[in-house]
Amino acid sequence: ISWLEKKRQGKVQKRICQVVLEHFEKQYTAELGDAWSRVRDVLTSPWCWQHALLLNRFSQSPGLESSLAEQGYQPAFPAALPYLPAAFRCYSRPAPGRFPAQKHQPGRLKDYYLLNAASLLPVLALEAEDGEDVLDLCAAPGGKSVAILQCACPGHFHCNEYDDLRSRWLEQTIESFIPGPLMNLIRISKLDGRQIGDLQPEFYDKVLVDAPCSNDRSWLFSADPQQALLRLMQRKELSSLQFQLLRSAVKALRPGGSLVYSTCTLSKAENSDVINLILNSCRNVMPVDISGMARGVSQEFTFLSGMQQHELLVLPERGRAWGPMYVAKLKKVSSA
């Protein structure tokens, strides 16, 4: 290792929260086996993280795509996917590092959104179409809402965020990317997501549940060990919240409608276990095969093997440092 690399590692090493790392070490060695050491290597090395750019179809930015190409950026998703609208343009490059962010300027639309490319997989799995009624149940900070609007123009788009601060963040994101006339189709609310199914039963064609979860990437760098410990203790309660959000989403769906559930954790308790609980407790819900999408992006992402056909888990690895991202798709076949 070069001196510079050592210095960088030393700097980063101080920032890793040991109490979280030890907790993950136990859990993920058991759940992921050999794959965990490679994943841990990426999660604890921020200098190898990559960022993708989702271009905004509503802003005019001549020259941006050729400038990205000059810097080694290429389309992040292959054209052979089951669902990839022409207006949906995302770029990434193998080299780590991030493109400069654009500041929020009232009245001016941003040209691109910086993100982890894996966070677009739930949107591509949702397959939103023009004119559909779509609900983004836990929408802040707004990246997936913006991505849905790059794919389609819903008849009605409901973006919900219960948390007050995050809700303001969501509003600012939507404002930064979406032109005035389209805002009429968008409703931003601060409802408890667990109640939306009862408030608006069988109203939506598509629902995205990007659930609150243990955010493995950011938790590893918790600055406050006490807060980290508290988070780890409360972690068990998350799966109950996720189940309630999913149940609400099922109620909010029209028969024939589909939902996508996603998290940015590796934790089986918050992923497959929650989905299995819903499949076992809601007779009117069926799994939807998303293995075609997984196969289509298998060069770009690394997946945990042995998953069911209706789910996938993106594992970060060097050179493909995307994820963690769990995605599952379900369909409502009839009224309860």
Q: Which residue positions form the known binding site for S-adenosyl-L-methionine?
A: 138-144, 161, 192, 210
pLDDT of residue 8: 52
State yes or no: pLDDT of 6 exceeds 90.
no
Q: Which of 90, 151, 159, 264 is catalytic?
A: 264
pLDDT digits (tens, 9 = 90+) for 43-54: 999 999 999 999
Average pLDDT taken over every residue of the chain = 94
pLDDT of residue 120: 98
Q: Which residue positions form the known binding site?
A: 138-144, 161, 192, 210
pLDDT digits (tens, 9 = 90+) for 51-100: 999 999 999 888 999 999 999 999 999 888 999 999 999 999 988 888 89
pLDDT of residue 79: 84
If you average pLDDT over residues 123-138, what whole number do you get?
A: 98
Q: What is the largest CA-CA distance in the chain?
A: 63
pLDDT digits (tens, 9 = 90+) for 146-181: 999 999 999 999 999 999 999 999 999 999 999 999
- Across 208-242, b (16+ Cβ under 10 Å) vs e yields bbbbbbbebbebbebeeeeebeebbeebeebbebb
State yes or no: pLDDT of 4 exceeds 80.
no
pLDDT digits (tens, 9 = 90+) for 102-117: 998 888 999 999 999 9
Look up the pTM and report it: 0.94
pLDDT of residue 323: 97
Q: What whole-number percentage of the chain has pLDDT above 90? A: 89
| Whether residue 264 lies in the annotated active site | yes
pLDDT of residue 150: 98
Distance of alpha carbon 178 from alpha carbon 146, whole angstroms: 8
